[in-house]
Chains A and B, each alone.
Chain A
Amino acid sequence: MSFAHRHLLGIEQLSQSDITAILDLAETYVDLNRQSSKHADVLAGLTQINMFFENSTRTQASFEIAGKRLGADVMNMAMQASSIKKGETLIDTAMTLNAMHPDLLVVRHPHSGAVDLLAQKVNCAVLNAGDGKHEHPTQALLDALTIRRAKGRLHRLNIAICGDVAHSRVARSNLFLLGKMENRIRLIGPPTLVPGQFAEFGAEIYDDMREGLKDVDVVMMLRLQRERMDGGFIPSEREYYHRYGLDVEKLSLAKPDAIVMHPGPMNRGVEIDGTLADDINRSVIQEQVEMGVAVRMAAMELLARNLTTAA
């Protein structure tokens, strides 16, 4: 099993076999995480720093648990409260941290490309935990693992990605990953939130949700990113819910065994019906969270292996 990357900055740079390698290793961690003793010590002695320049509870917790279960020394830095406020640039912050010899740097930043920039300036492995509207690779990987386990395969599926594609890094990483694995992807949403240019990457675009959901195997909902919008992209949340919110009636157009996914946190009653989100027969939202820890453990282990070979 080879994984020849120094960093995990995005799905765009990965090959089919890279993706499969991460998912296969993650499967072993799913089993481990369900046992009472959850420790593997493959990262023992390594230092993992989580640098979040943007608020996060779920992703940060997931990375922290993943690192701790693998035996790394994990440190969280809430960057909004720190030197960035004092005018220090991203590069200076990176250089300062680099001097402390971390081995794994997990970074989230509100600007597209910022994690790539940071990765050029440090000696350790960098994991992108979300950069602006660009990529969120571990989210796409955990979605892939969830789909593979629920559907038994990760190719030739009809997958609908619905909602605020324009502001979503999750959508972009998923578009790369699911495209590389040879699935048919539909993007569903109002044209203000689904840029037409995505058609050039082979996705089919629908502004009618009912039409778009016909016969799909997977319905992936996106969160309405109100914090990333400048000005009105939709007239109101109630109209949005009426036209693009997922409820039982719209879901009935998909295949009978279609699964419902959401990267969280959910806006119940805006993009998804609350009861549907909790329906364990259709929704795999809780499983996505579980897979998140396993996928992050796998990604960090693979990067850590390359650290030791490089040194």
Chain B
Amino acid sequence: MSDTLFTNARLIDPEGGSDTIGWLHVTDGRIMATGEGAAQQSDTETVDCGGKCLAPGIIDIGVKVCEPGERHKESYKSAGRAAAAGGVTTMVTRPDTTPAIDTPETLEFVTRRAQADTPVNVLPMAALTKGREGREMTEIGFLQDAGAVAFTDCDHVISDTKVFTRALTYARSCGALVMAHPQEPILSKGAAATSGKFSALYGLPSVSPMAERMGLDRDIALLEMTGAKYHADQITTARALPALERAKLNGLDITAGTSVHHLTLNELDVADYRTFFKVKPPLRSEDDRLAVVEAVRTGLIDTISSMHTPQDEESKRLPFEEAAAGAVALETFLPAALRLVHAEYLDLPTLFRAMSLNPAKRLGLDAGRLSVGAPADLVLFDPDVPFVLDRTTLLSKSQNTPFDGQRMQGRVLATFVGGHEVFRRN
């Protein structure tokens, strides 16, 4: 029986919405007891948190690990180390690999690789259609048996509504969660930027923010038809929010996420065609960004993800239109998100509701909280320490971060998975 006592910790509890000094007792990888104030003296192994924040570890829905296919961009080993350093205790991985994770065999391969090389929890998602081509649904039942926690074609929108309807209906019968990318596929074709002042001036092919609302409206209609369990991967525009709110009020089984980049950057950050700022969907206007931050605060948007997408230099050192989309974010996720706390948009329990508690709830996990009985997946961090990000220090194999050279505030000090320390900053 292993025992650890965390003392003198600023406990960030998203469930109770509290932020208090206290202690937390872990036995056999689970939280046994917790309380306010000073802990009683005992002879168990003690971790003195020095008044820093102790929160439930981050559960990151939508991490891309590039196995199989592009291990040079990110492997389970490198992603796992980056996740541990970033306070991410559970990576919910994407199936948009080469080939796509669309059979139980591929899923088993991935699970094996993850178990061998990764210090944090890995929960794989599988493709909803074969090859993510939007034509035939995958073996949802077998894939669930093999451990798939959700089904998604990632940024490929299934444009054939008959195919999507059948997949949603079948998924409902399995109780499977479907994650989709709300975007009108034809309107957004070829877009590298959001239409607006910036794209007009810089002559980039662009998409109206309305394409996101159209995509969401369509998906909501299909949910009314099928009753499926649905999560929108990234809601990034103000215009999509009223539709999301109505769907929730109407009792549909719908949740929504957004990405840390859309919460902290806007279209103007692309400046002189900086391809590290090219993400999908493209960065939005400042008005959209603020609306989405507010939706996270109220809980209309449930989750925040890193949308960690490793790309090598060769995929990024191209003209903006040709460059690959995506940014690495496992290690910058918490420092970037803390900008919202320092700017006083969100408090820490609200932030961890979106980064830990809600993702856990949506996936039916008992993690993501500091309550008794929950797994001791924890992150210890100093929310105030300033630093300048140097991308060459990142542990990911790819270092395509938009935050290179930027001032950040807040860093992970240590990460624990099942009570075991998997990372400590020296």
Contacts and interface: CB of A to CB of B under 8 A. Distances in A.
Contacts of B200: 195, 197-198
Q: Is the interface of B mostly helix, strand, loop or mixed?
A: loop
Interface string A80-118: 000000000111000000000000000001011110110
Which size bracket describes the interface of B in this complex?
Answer: 10 to 19
A132 B203 contact: yes
The 9 A-B residue pairs with the shortest CB-CB distance, nearest first, are A133-B203, A113-B273, A111-B319, A114-B319, A197-B200, A134-B203, A112-B203, A113-B320, A195-B200
Given A112-B273, A116-B273, A197-B196, A172 B319 contact: no
B317 interface: yes
A117 B196 contact: no
B319 A117 contact: yes
A214 to B, nearest CB: 25
Nearest to B186: A231
Contacts of A227: none
B319 to A, nearest CB: 4
Interface in A200-236: 200-201, 230
A113 B314 CA distance: 17
Given A112-B273, A113-B272, A201-B201, A89 B321 contact: no
B206 to A, nearest CB: 9
A296 interface: no
Given A117-B319, A195-B195, A197-B196, 18 more contacts: A90-B318, A90-B319, A91-B317, A111-B320, A111-B322, A112-B202, A112-B319, A112-B320, A112-B321, A113-B272, A131-B203, A133-B204, A172-B201, A195-B200, A197-B195, A200-B197, A201-B197, A230-B190
Contacts of A109: 319
Interface of A: 89-91, 109, 111-114, 116-117, 131-135, 169, 172, 195, 197-198, 200-201, 230
A39 B320 CA distance: 40
A116 B272 CA distance: 8
A112 B318 CA distance: 11
Interface in B67-110: none
Contacts of B314: 89
A89 B273 CA distance: 17
Interface string B269-291: 00011000000000000000000
A114 B318 CA distance: 7
Contacts of A90: 318-319
A132 B272 CA distance: 14
Contacts of B317: 89, 91, 117
B394 to A, nearest CB: 22
Interface string B314-337: 100111111000000000000000
Interface string B381-405: 0000000000000000000000000
A178 to B, nearest CB: 15
A50 B190 CA distance: 29
Contacts of A200: 197
Interface of B: 190, 195-197, 199-204, 272-273, 314, 317-322
A144 B414 CA distance: 62
A110 to B, nearest CB: 8
Contacts of A198: 200
Contacts, number: 58
Contacts of B203: 112, 131-135, 169, 172
Contacts of A113: 202, 204, 272-273, 319-321
Contacts of A134: 202-203
A131 B317 CA distance: 16
Contacts of B320: 111-113
A230 B321 CA distance: 15
Contacts of B199: 197
Contacts of A133: 203-204
27 contacts: A89-B314, A89-B317, A90-B318, A90-B319, A91-B318, A112-B202, A112-B273, A112-B319, A113-B204, A113-B272, A113-B319, A113-B320, A113-B321, A114-B319, A116-B272, A116-B273, A117-B317, A132-B203, A132-B319, A133-B204, A135-B203, A172-B203, A195-B200, A197-B196, A198-B200, A201-B197, A230-B190
Contacts of B196: 197
Nearest to A167: B203
Contacts of A169: 203
B273 A132 contact: no
A63 B199 CA distance: 29
A210 B195 CA distance: 28
Contacts of A132: 203, 319, 321
A111 B319 CA distance: 6
> Considering residues A109, A113, A117, which has the most beta carbons from chain B within 10 angstroms of its beta carbon?
A113
Contact of A112 (B190, B195, B197, B204): B204
Nearest to A165: B200
Given A89-B317, A113-B202, A113-B273, A197 B197 contact: yes
A8 to B, nearest CB: 15
A201 B204 CA distance: 17
Nearest to A172: B203
Contacts of B318: 89-91, 117
Nearest to A53: B319
A45 B246 CA distance: 71
A131 B202 CA distance: 10
Nearest to B192: A112
A3 B200 CA distance: 28
A253 to B, nearest CB: 27
